[in-house]
Amino acid sequence: MKQPHVSGHKYAERKLSASESNRHRPRSKKEQLVTLLSKPNGARISSLCKRLGWQKHTVRAAISGLRASGIAIETSASSKDGMTVYKITDKPSLKATV
């Protein structure tokens, strides 16, 4: 049942300023993916699966969607274990795509 809003009550909500609400807003999975792919060495598909909680085919589909939106993503094989590594090489107007 919803708690009534009473000023000074332990359940009373505090209004957040715009900067506070953005700072505490959970980042979307797409934003997290872009951040991980933007690292200097990119990210292995296994680490993307683990960090995002997705399966490999879901990661590949999301990367395909980023490419379709105009973000250049380089694919290579890791020299250590041969695992696929993805890296953003060019991101035109990233704010518009996220």
The band of 80, judged by pLDDT with boundaries at 50, 70 and 90, is confident
Which residue ranges form the domains of the chain, and what is each CATH number?
28-97 (1.10.10.10)
Residue 44's closest CA among 75, 89, 68, 70?
Answer: 75
Tell if the pTM clears 0.85, that is, is over it: no
- Cβ atoms of residues 1 and 51 within 8 Å: no
Residue 74's closest CA among 87, 90, 64, 57?
Answer: 87
Tell me: pLDDT of 61 over 60: yes
Render pLDDT for 62-71 as a digit per residue (tens, 0 to 9).
999 999 999 9
Render pLDDT for 1-55 as a digit per residue (tens, 0 to 9).
555 555 555 555 556 555 555 566 668 999 999 999 999 999 999 999 999 999 9
Q: How far apart are CA 18 and CA 88, in angstroms?
A: 30
